[in-house]
Amino acid sequence: MPKAMVIDDSRAIRLILRRTLEKLGYEVLEARHGKEALAELERDPQVSLMLVDWNMPEMNGLEFIKHLRTQPSFSQVILMMVTTETEIEQMVTALEAGANEYVMKPFTEEIIADKMRLLGVIP
């Protein structure tokens, strides 16, 4: 079973995304911010998909994506930014930093599944 990680400081959003990903066949890990996600990856590096919020304490989503993209062992991980940031400039910034896709909150299960299909991680 493929593994995904949801990185968001909102417990409610983590729960919604966890349920969505589990329905789509993923085992799901969670982290409240980028630093916690990095620690989780040290314990369990077999994550193939990450859904990352932008606005989080300690290490925000953009910082996390930039850092992860400097790590050769995680170069193939699919990164999807899931955020309230709706300005086109932020979308461009996230994609240039290494995000593979960008989803604006609020979202639906269908939107997440559609983006995952576009990324080729579900049929």
Q: What is the mean pLDDT of residues 63-68?
A: 98
Residues 66 and 43 sit within 8 Å (Cβ to Cβ): no
Closest Cα partner for 104 from 115, 120, 96? 115
Q: Whole-prediction pTM value?
A: 0.95
Tally of CB atoms within 10 A around 86: 10
Structural domain spans, the chain = 3-118
Task: State pLDDT tens for residues 84-103.
Answer: 999 999 999 999 999 999 99
Residues 77 and 48 sit within 8 Å (Cβ to Cβ): yes
CATH architecture of 3-118: 3-Layer(aba) Sandwich (3.40)
Q: Residue 49 carries which side chain, given as an amino acid letter?
A: L
In degrees, rounded to 5, the angle at the alpha carbon of residue 63 between the alpha carbons of residues 6 and 30 is 15
